[in-house]
Amino acid sequence: MKRQAAISGFTLIEVLIPLLVLSLGLLGLAALQTTSLAFNTDAYTRTQSTVIAYDIIDKMRINTTGVSAGNYDIASTTVARTKITTYATCGASGGTCDCGGTASISCSTSSLALYDLGTWYSKMKEALPGSDDGTDTRLATIDRTAANLVTITIQWVERDIPKSQRWVVQL
């Protein structure tokens, strides 16, 4: 009687099961990477909004006369849009609101405030994401609740979700 040789090697099912486990593990890593990237982007945006808020806070600390006169007050997004439009027409081509460079020596406190707000909104538009529907949702309000207490609220859109952040600062 002849003995049959032992069958050696892998069957197809023995190969497919480890391949399936490896594939699921790699899909899990890809999902983890995608989620991590989204959260890092959100954190970066919040950091940018903080930097932008402190930028206008520093400018307001320099121009305390303009703050006291209410030149930095922006009670609503409608007022913010009006200030942006006013700065765009006034600050263009060396107008009275062009307080950058050597012109800043003869700039009034109200013109300096309008210049600060106009450049601030430009920085905000560059640094923060907005909506895709054509409206500019990257706006901010600045409210003086007391003589030296200022509340700054910045709004933007992240992954189609409206976001806002608020700072209360004593100048």
Identity of the amino acid at 59: K
Helix or strand (DSSP H, E) at 79: helix 77-90
pLDDT tens track for 27-77 = 999 999 999 998 998 899 999 999 999 999 999 999 888 888 888 998 887
What's the length of the chain? 171
Residue 149 has pLDDT above 60, yes or no: yes
Amino acid of residue 93: S
Enter the pTM of the model.
0.75
In sequence order, what DSSP letters do the residues of 109-141 get, joined into one string? HHHHHHHHHHHHHHHHHHHS---SSSS----EE
Structure tokens that stand for 35 in this block: 């989620």
